[in-house]
Each structure stands twice: as structure tokens, then as C-alpha cells.
Structure 1
Amino acid sequence: MEGIGMAYTETEIEVRYAETDQMGVVYHANYLIWMELGRTRFIESLGLRYFDMEQLGYLSPVIDVAIHYGKPLRYGQNAIVKTWLEEYDGVRVTYGYEIRYAESGEIAITGETKHVCVTKDTFKPVALKRVLKEWHDKYQKAVEGAK
């Protein structure tokens, strides 16, 4: 796992049989799970945890997803999930992803997820810099570090 201030993290995934479909390739929805694993690892690399956010009464639901499929992965192969912070405007956070073959580096998918921070009880959006200053500061630094 990369350290704080890094522009991205990389998470290795071993493709399991249960993640494949009748054609023997990774079922498309599993890429979303792998993106979540990469996103969690990226957030942890900033010294943050979703669990702590939730304990303070906030959630970060996905409000938009885009996935562009390339060459499909298959059972028995390994993938690398590269994750970075694409955009942050104080309210919305967009993570970028590239999932590629560990062995050859070929692209399996590219994509992004957009999130907003909301209160757990009302689901009303909130500005991170008002309610989770540490998250705001670290996201600002991560976006600057990616440029």
C-alpha cells in the first residue's frame, strides 16, 4: 500500500472462480467490488477509514459509476486495481480506476465512481470541510499531488 501523499494505490486481486460467469470471464458487476476494495485501500493510504466516518454519523454513497470494458479477466489470473482521486470539490469526490492484468499490464477496465458525503439519518449532502475537516484537507492534498 502506498503512503500518505501518494498519487495512487495499487491493490492486487486474485480472480476467483465464483467471480466468473458462464463464459468463464469476470462477471461485470465484480469490477465494482474490486473498485470498492481499491477505493478503501486508497482512503486508508491517506490515513482515513470509512468506519470512522460512519461512527461520526456520515456516509459516502455512490451517486454515479462509469466503467469502460477492455480485455476481460478470467479465473486464475491476477489483476491490479490502480485507484486515485480524480476530482474533489468539497462536496463531491470522484475516484478513478484502472484494472489491468498483473502479468502483462493490459487494461481490463477503466472507470470512475462519484460520491457525496451525507448524514446517516437524513441522507442530506454535507460539505466535508464543515463536518469532516481532516478528510477535506487530505483530499485537497491528494488532488494537488495527482496534478
Structure 2
Amino acid sequence: MSQSPQLPTSNLVPSTIALDWFDYPITVYAHHTDYAGVVWHGAYIAWLEEARIEFLQSRGIDFAQLVEMGCNLPVIDLSIHYHQSLRMGMKAIVKTRLMSIEGVKLPVEYEIRSLDNAIVYVSGRVVLVPVDMVKGKILRRLPSTVESALAIVR
């Protein structure tokens, strides 16, 4: 039986990261809406999470593998602003980007926009922290594979 990689415990040095938007397309289906055909507020949060997982995947971070290593990235803060409702049948883009790392906090910014970028439906932000799933404690450093995937040339 192979051992899981050791999770890091030393301090995370703030790094500079790419601030490019990652686009995740969505379509509003009936199960996303209330009886009036307007998107239910919780559907927006689910789309933000889906976009975040796909963003990490695009950077080479497989969330399932991260969890297998014993590291989770729970949301510790969530802020969402509803600007305009989406309705059944509409299509939009969830734009996602990781902001500058703050200690071990990973702030992620979002905008849900119309396909032509003219309308902002939702804007939001979450903050993630790396947690050792066995010890139940916040890590002082990201696993090296995650840190290198999120960093750019300094």
C-alpha cells in the first residue's frame, strides 16, 4: 500500500498568479429555475463551483487527486451580487479567475455574463484555504503541485 504524499506545513510565500479569465459556458435548464422560470439563487453558487473546478483542471490541478492526497480547498468566505436574473433557456458564461494569493488564502473572483459580455448577471468572490483532511487543520502551505500550477514566472 502506497503512502499519500506528505502535506506541506511551512509558510506559503505570496506568489504572483495569472489574472486571466477562464470561461465556463452554462445553459439555464428548467431544474435551475423557480416556477416563474427565473434562476434559483442556489444554482448560481453551483455554477461558480463547477467553473472553479474546471478552472483548476485547466491549470493541471485535478481536484479529486488533491482530495486523494488528503488536501481539501473549502470555501471560507462567499460573496455574491445578483445584478440581473437569468431565465430558463438562456445561455451565459461564468468567468473565473484566481486573484493574488493572500497568505494561504486563495481568492477567486467570478462574473456571470451574457455571451456577448454586454450584461453582468452575477458577480462574486470566494476565498478558499487548503485543509489537511486527516488533521482537520489549515495547511501553512499548498501542496507543491498546486502552488506551481497556480504560479507564473516571477
TM bin, normalised by shorter chain, reads 0.7 to 0.9
TM-score under structure 1 length normalisation: 0.85
Please give the alpha-carbon distance, in whole angstroms, between the structure 1 residues aligned to 2:86 and 2:141. Answer: 36
Aligned-residue RMSD, C-alpha: 1.9
How many residues are aligned here? 137
SS state of the match for residue 84, structure 1?
strand
Q: Is 2:71–2:130's contact at 8 Å kept on the other side of the alignment?
A: yes
Q: Is 2:19–2:98's contact at 8 Å kept on the other side of the alignment?
A: no
Residue 12 of structure 1 pairs with residue 10 of structure 2: no
Summarize the Cα distance change of 1:80–1:46 in structure 2 as closer, same or farther, 3 Å threshold: same
Detail structure 1 runs of 4+ shifted over 6 Å in the superposition.
none
Q: Which has the higher contact order (CA 8 A, sep 6+)?
A: 2
SS state of the match for residue 35, structure 1?
helix
State how 1:16-95 maps to structure 2 within 5 Å. Answer: 16-95=29-108
Q: Write out per-residue CA displacement over residues 87-122 of structure 1, whole angstroms, 9 at most, x where no aligned residue.
A: 313411011000012256311100011111101123
Q: Is 2:19–2:99's contact at 8 Å kept on the other side of the alignment?
A: no
Moved more, 25-34 or 132-141: 132-141
Q: Write out per-residue CA displacement over residues 39-59 of structure 1, whole angstroms, 9 at most, x where no aligned residue.
A: 011111111111111010111
Structure with the bigger percentage of helix: 1
Structure with the bigger percentage of strand: 1
Unaligned runs of 5+ in 2: 1-17
Q: CA deviation at 1:127?
A: 2.5
TM-score under structure 2 length normalisation: 0.81
Q: Write out per-residue CA displacement over residues 117-147 of structure 1, whole angstroms, 9 at most, x where no aligned residue.
A: 1011232000334xx11211222329x7xxx
Please give the alpha-carbon distance, in whole angstroms, between the structure 1 residues aligned to 2:118 and 2:47. Answer: 17
Instruction: Report the counterpart of residue 127 of structure 1 in structure 2.
Output: 140
